Structure 1
Amino acid sequence: MSDESPLVLVVEDERDLSELYQMWLAKSYRVRTAYDGRAALDKLDDDVDIVLLDRRMPDLSGDEVLERIRERNLDCRVAMVTAVEPDTDIVDMPFDDYLVKPISETDLVEMVENLCIREEYDDGIRELFSLASKKALLETEKDASELEDDENYQQLLSDLEELRASLDDQLSNLDTDALTLIYRDLDRDQSDDE
């Protein structure tokens, strides 16, 4: 990220919501808006630090836009901000965070702040943030019994534990705020072990 305030691209086909998100974020961030997936790809460049992406849009879905963002190897964080309830299909999606609408100003601003903090760390730590966020999201939205037998969720747990073990040295050097963000999304009993 540059010395300027981070640039957030809000991709939302509902103009009222897009304008609301822009108003909330403009206090601390530079903001661009796009009302569909194609416009988002046109407005996306190396200056964009964070993309807030709706999953349901008329021309290109948010999932397709996410895929194209990653294909272009742009160094930006992506958060899905959508009314689509998450399912275990999200495990393999390369986003950094996920909010289910309706959302509050506090939730949106806090998520963007967290994504900015994540940007300061290397790929392994950012991947840990992403996996931990997915785990927390699924555990909030799904029944424990559903998750227990789900192959994708079990793979997520395995990947998370493996990554966490490989990053132990780096984790010990993180500041308290970063650790709080990571462990907020991990099991409480696991965080007590640190």
Structure 2
Amino acid sequence: MATETPSVLIVEDEPDLANLYAAWLEEPCTVETAYDGQSALDAIDETVDIVLLDRRMPGLSGDTILATIRDRGLDCRVAMVTAVEPDFDIIEMGFDDYLVKPVSKEEIRRIVDQLSLRSSYDAQLQEFFALSSKKALLDAEKTEAERKSSQEYARLQDRLAALRVQVNDTMEELLEQDGYRRLCQDITRDSILQESD
């Protein structure tokens, strides 16, 4: 799915904000906007590489749109860009990354670059990075006591530990590929976020 010019769908019920994100991304990407859930579902198909998705919208919520994207089996990366503070319910959600508004141009461009790169990874690495992002987010937002009392968080840690072993094997295969340096930067960023807590 990875292309030189990623196709990005921005799903945001505030048109001014959606248009601002689109302006930030229009040079490196092909951008389309949808201002409500139904328009988003009509626009999402196999040509969309990345979806920037607001979680709270009238009508169809971002959670419903995300579930529909995954139910359709579409091979696109999804980042929630929302004012909704994360809670442990995000662990089971099928997004790849999560940004809490307000967000900057640099954050939007960085997340699109990262998701574009991740789309070239195999499914195992995609899962590893998605779960690492969720763990880093919960580490930053939840107290240690809250994390220790959450069964979902414990399962997340166990799954990450198992994936880390599998990823080490996959890393050896990537040594000969051009994306290795950027992959290491992605892993290092996630590791630093985890160690800072």
Q: Same fold (TM over 0.5)?
A: yes
The count of residues paired between Structure 1 and Structure 2 equals 190
**Maintained 8 Å contact 1:128/1:182:** no
Secondary structure, counterpart of 1:186 in structure 2: helix
- Structure-2 change in CA distance of 1:189 and 1:15 (3 Å): closer
1:184 aligns with 2:189: yes
* CA contact 1:11–1:33 (8 Å) conserved in 2: yes
Matched with 1:67 is: 67
1:3 shift after superposition? 4.7
Query: Aligned partners of 2:123, 2:64: CA distance in 1, in Å?
Result: 22
Give the Cα–Cα distance (whole angstroms) in 2 for the partners of residues 189 and 55 of structure 1.
25
The unaligned stretches of length 5 or more in structure 2 are: 175-179
* Structure 2 contact 136–193 (Cα < 8 Å) conserved: no
Gaps of 5+ in 1: none
- Indicate the percent of aligned positions where both proteins have the same amino acid: 51
**TM alignment of 1:30-49, pairs within 5 A:** 30-49=30-49
Pair 1:77 & 2:99 matched: no
Q: TM-score, normalised by structure 1?
A: 0.93
Q: What letter corresponds to residue 155 of structure 1 in structure 2?
A: R
SS at match of 1:158: helix
TM-score normalised by L of structure 2: 0.92
- The code of the aligned residue for 2:143 comes to D
Q: What CA distance in whole angstroms lies between the structure 2 residues aligned with 1:163 and 1:91?
A: 15
Please give the residue correspondences for 1:43-192 in structure 2 after superposition, counting only pairs within 5 Å: 43-174=43-174, 175-186=180-191
The CA RMSD measured in Å over matched residues stands at: 1.6
Counterpart of 1:114, as a letter, is Q
* Cα deviations by residue, 1:72-116 (Å, 9 ceiling, x for unpaired): 001100110000000011000010000000000001100000001
Residue 32 of structure 1 and its aligned partner are, at CA, apart by 0.4
